[in-house]
Amino acid sequence: MTRAVHDSPTPWVAAHIRRFEETGGRPRPGMNDLLLTTRGRRSGLPRRTALAYVRAGDAYVLTASNAGADRHPAWYLNLLATPDVTLQVGPAAFPATARPATAAEAARLRPLVIAAMPSYAAYRTTTTRDIPLVLATPAAQTDSLPT
C-alpha cells in the first residue's frame, strides 16, 4: 500500500491511532492493540483503524463489532473485498491476509476474545447481526513478527 494512509474519520478511533503512534504501539496498558490498514472497497485508498486483538496460533483475531452497531464496520467490508491488509503491532508493520472466521472457528475463539475484552459480550446483545471474527495471518512468517 504505497499511497498516503487515511485514518478512521471517527474521532475516538483517530485519537486511538494517534496514541498508538505516540506510544510506539502501546496506547492502552494491558491491552493488545494493533493498527489495521485495508484498501477502500470503493475508493481504492488505504484506510487505517485501531483494533484490539487476541492471538490464536499465527493469526491475529479481530472483532468486527462496530461497538454493537447494526452494520458491519467499513474496515470489515473493505477486507472482504480485498483480503490483503497491513498490520502494525507495536513498531512492526507487515503484510497479512485477512478472512472471516468460520462458524466453528468463531465458536472456539469467541470466549478468548471476550476474556480479553468483556465489552464484546455486551455488543452482541445490542445488535441482531452476527458480529464476525476475523483471522489476519502474516503473509511471511518470520522470527521478527511481534506477539
CA dihedral defined by 99, 137, 72, 126, rounded to 10 degrees? 110
What are the residues whose beta carbons fall under 8 Å from the beta carbon of 76, sequence distance 6 or more?
A: 64, 66, 132, 134
95-140 residue pLDDT tens = 999 999 999 999 999 999 999 888 888 787 777 788 899 999 999 7
pLDDT of 146 > 60? The answer is no
What local confidence, expressed as pLDDT, does residue 145 receive? 47
Strand arrangement of the beta sheet that strand 33-39 belongs to: 6-7, 46-52, 33-39, 84-89, 92-100, 133-138, 59-63, 54-56
